[in-house]
Amino acid sequence: MSETRSALLRQRLVELPLHLEKADVHLKAVTLPSYPGEPRPSSTIELFGDGGTGSGENVAWTRPDHERFRSWVENQHWKEGSSLGTFAAELARSPLEAYGRAAIESAAIDLALQQASTNLAELCETAYAEIRYVRSFGATADPLSELHAHQEEAPEIGVKLDFDPAWPARTLASLSALGIIEVLDFKHRGTAAEQSRTAEILFEAWLEDPGVCGEPVSSALADRFSLDAALTDESPESTLHHLNPAAVNLKIPRMGGVLNLLIAAAFCESRKKPFYMGGMFEVSVGREQARELASLLAPQGPNDLAPLPKSEIRRFPPTLEIPQGRHGFGRR
């Protein structure tokens, strides 16, 4: 079997030299209307070495999570002069949870690429492609008003919609008539009968995370089953073998970093399984880094990486352009 693009990219990344001298973490909060409950807490880690600065974003959910992350970083000895692969292997043995490890690994990738005067596309011997994306909407009792407004604002942009088991048949019929639902995210909500009924009506959408988390889905949904929540940093190949999804949503933070994500992407590529990139409320460099991976590996997928209306730009272009030729990871 020939080497996949994801496997090639991973191999070339781990071989990159990495010279690391120190680290710093910056905390902030970003007002984000779709974030539940309060402003979105965020932290960015910066790794410094040989005059370069690599950045990564921690997407942990609470301010105390970010404060613990900063404290851990401040108490580390950051002198490093080996390879990116060695650094990542040592990081994987740390007590940090997946989101923190992913942030540090992304910053290390950014720094190593700068130090090598290259980027992901050059490692793949290709060019960045414009990415197609979808806008994500949470579950509401009446999603139609939001989706009608979306159609007026960006009629060419598809939608990822969270499922509400309380939707009546008339709501499902109206959603189907819109013709814009590309991914229906069950988040393991609803009974098997409710999920099957919904799948029959929204017959063109990928069905993300139906059934019970970690368990195979029913044969009635299997052809459109897209896996998300169960795919973490724990044995991604084993999870994919066991659950055998038809498609996969890949998220850098949930998988503990880019290198682990590339293992899952290579598995999908070798078996011709569609996959797409997902977001986890990234508000800074993490969003750009996820888009950069999407542009190389899944540019035509329903990538859940839309512009943020009030903190990024106010209009929604049909595709997102990734800058060519710049060194590093996720740099504009």
- Compare 79 and 322 and report the one with higher pLDDT: 322
Structural domain spans, the chain: 5-122, 128-320
SS3 of residue 40 by DSSP: strand
pLDDT at 80: 74
Domain spanning 128-320: CATH superfamily: Enolase-like C-terminal domain (3.20.20.120)
Compute the mean pLDDT over every residue in the chain, rounded to the nearest whole number: 94
CATH 3.40.190.10 assigned to 5-122: no
19-56 residue pLDDT tens: 999 999 999 999 887 787 779 999 999 999 999 999 99
User: Which own/partner contact pairs does 144-149 have at CB distance under 8 Å and 24+ positions apart?
Assistant: 144/171, 144/174, 144/175, 144/178, 147/175, 147/178, 147/180
DSSP structure class, residue 131: E
SS3 of residue 111 by DSSP: helix
pLDDT at 1: 43
pTM of the model: 0.95
Contact indicator for 181, 205 with CB cutoff of 8 Å: yes
